[in-house]
Structure 1
Amino acid sequence: MTILELKGVQASYGGIQALKGIDLEVGQGEVVTLIGSNGAGKSTTLKAISGQVPVKSGTIHYKGNDITNTPAHKTSLLGIAQVPEGRRIFPKLTVKENLQIGAFALKNKKEIETRMERVYQYFPRLEERLDQKGGTMSGGEQQMLAIGRALMMNPQVLMLDEPSMGLAPIIVEQIFEIILELNKEGMTILLVEQNAFQALQIAHRGYVIQTGEIVMNGNGKDLMANEQVQEAYLA
C-alpha cells in the first residue's frame, strides 16, 4: 500500500527551480532511497513533503490525503518526521531537552517517558549523556540525538537527510543498522543519501534524481547493478 505519493511536484528557491515535476512513491513498510549529486534536489524533495518549501504545482498525498503545502508543524503531527541535513540539534540544550522537544505536542508525561525509553534502547549512549549539552557531543552522537528527537514524534514515516554526512565509517554502519532495525519493526523510511552504496544496500527501492528530475528508479539491487548508476555514484 502506498503511504506517500508525489505527483508532478515542482518547487523553487527564489528564482531557481529546484524540482521540475517529481513523481515518487513510498510503500508502507518500505525503505526508499533518493540518490543524486549535490544540488540535484534531494533535500528539497524532503522539505517539500514536510512543508518547509512551498510546492508551486503538483500534489503530495499521505495515506491518500492531500497534504500539499501543509505547514511543517502540522505535517509532523500527521506522522511524518524529518531528520534534517546537518542534524540541527539545539546545541545549548541538553540531550534530554532536545528529546523532549521532539514530543512537543504530547501532554502525557508517562507517554513521553515511554518514548524516551524507546529512544534509549536504540541509542544507549544518549541515556548516558542526558544532562550533557548537545553541542558538546561528537558528530555521531549528535546524529543519534537528531534521530532520537524525530523518534519522539512516534512517526509512521521517517525521512532522513544525509545521515552519514561527516561521520566515521564505523558510526555510519551503526546508524544504518538502526535504520534497518526501525524498518524491521514496521517504520517506513525515506532516505536521502550521497553514500549511494550504503543507501542502495538497505533500500527496497530507489530513485535517482538529477537537476530536479527523476531520471531512473527501480529496486535497490537493480540500481546497484546498473552501469550508469555505478559510474556516476558507486565508482
Structure 2
Amino acid sequence: MLEVQDIHTYYGNIHALKGTSLYVEEGEIVTLIGSNGAGKTTTLRTIQGLLRPSQGTIRFNGQALEVLSAEAIVRLGISQSPEGRLVFPRMTVLENLEMGAFSRNDRLGIKSDLERAMVLFPRLKERVNQKAGTLSGGEQQMLAIARALMARPRLLLLDEPSMGLAPLLVSQIFSIIKDINSQGMTILLVEQNARMALSVAHRGYVLQTGQIVLTGTAKELQVNETVRKAYLGEN
C-alpha cells in the first residue's frame, strides 16, 4: 500500500532523514520506533506532504505522493493523528470530528462515521458538546484518533498516541488501535513506547538519526538484543 524509498528530508540545514526506506502492506500495523530526534515524526510529516523530501520517492497504491499537497494526500486516503493531539480547543468534540471530514461531502456517510466514532470511543459520546480544550489528555488523544478516522482513510498515521498518558490509558489506547486494525484499517504507528508498539504491530522499523538501522517482525524485534537494551529497558 505504501512504499517509501530513499527519502532525504531537511529542516533548514539539518539533514533529518538520510535515505529512509520502508513499506506498509494493506491490513498491517507497522511501527516505527526510536529515540527522541530520530526522525520518526519527520517521516510521517513527509509522507503526509507537510514536508517536502529533497530526494527519494513515496508511493501510495502506486500514486506518487512527494509532488502532492497535504490536502490532496488526505483525499487520496491518508490521514494522521498528530503528535501532541492538536485538537481545536475552543471547538466542541462534535465540531472537531466534523473537521476531520472536511474533505468529504457524503452527508449520510459522515453521519454513519460519527455514530461509529461514538461507539468506538464512548467517552467522546459522553462529552460530544464539550469544548475539546477541557478534555483530559486521554480523551483528547481519543478525539485526535477519531478525527483522523472521520476522513475515512485507507491508511492511518498515528504519531505518539501514548505520549503523556497514564499506564491505564495507554493500555486503552492500544486496545483501540488493535480494534481499529481488526476492522480492516492499515496503520503506520510512530511510538516511543516500544514495548506497547511491538505488542500490537505486525512488523517494525528502528530509526536512528534519520536512518533505518533494524527491521523485522514485531516478535523478531522484541527478542533482538539491541532493541531490548536500547528501547525495552532490559539488560
TM-score normalised by the chain length of structure 1: 0.98
- Work out the CA distance in 2 between the residues paired with 1:164 and 1:132: 23
What's the offset of the Cα at 1:108?
2.8
Counterpart of 1:218 (choices 208, 216, 219) is: 216
Distance in 1 between the 2:44 and 2:213 partners?
A: 17
Amino acid paired to 1:36: G
**Farther-moved stretch of structure 1 (204-213 vs 99-108):** 99-108
Residue in structure 1 matching 2:29, options 31, 34, 40: 31
Q: Distance in 1 between matches of 2:197 and 2:212?
A: 17
Query: What amino acid is the match of 1:165?
Result: M
TM-superposition CA deviations, 1:99-149 (whole Å, max 9, x none): 000000222322211110010111011111111000000000000000010
Deviation per CA, 1:191-225, whole angstroms, max 9, x where unpaired? 00000000011111000000000001000011010
User: 84, 87, 93: which one pairs with 1:86?
Assistant: 84
Aligned residues: 233
How much does 1:65 deviate?
1.4
Overall identity of the aligned pairs, in %: 56
Aligned to 1:43, the other structure's residue is in SS state helix
Task: Give the aligned partner of residue 152 of structure 1.
Answer: 150
- Residue 230 of structure 1 is matched in structure 2 by 228
Which amino acid letter does the alignment assign opposite residue 169 of structure 1? P
- Give the corresponding residue for 2:108: 110
The residue that corresponds to 1:21 in the other structure is 19
Please name the residue that 1:9 is paired with. 7
1: CA distance between counterparts of 2:59 and 2:65? 6
Deviation at 1:68, TM superposition (A): 1.2
Matches within 5 A, 1:85-234: 85-234=83-232
Could you say what secondary structure the match of 1:55 adopts?
coil
Partner of 1:62: 60
Query: Partner of 1:214: helix, strand, or coil?
Result: strand
Structure 2: which amino acid aligns with 1:90? F
C-alpha RMSD of the superposition: 0.7
Gaps spanning 5+ residues in structure 2: where? none
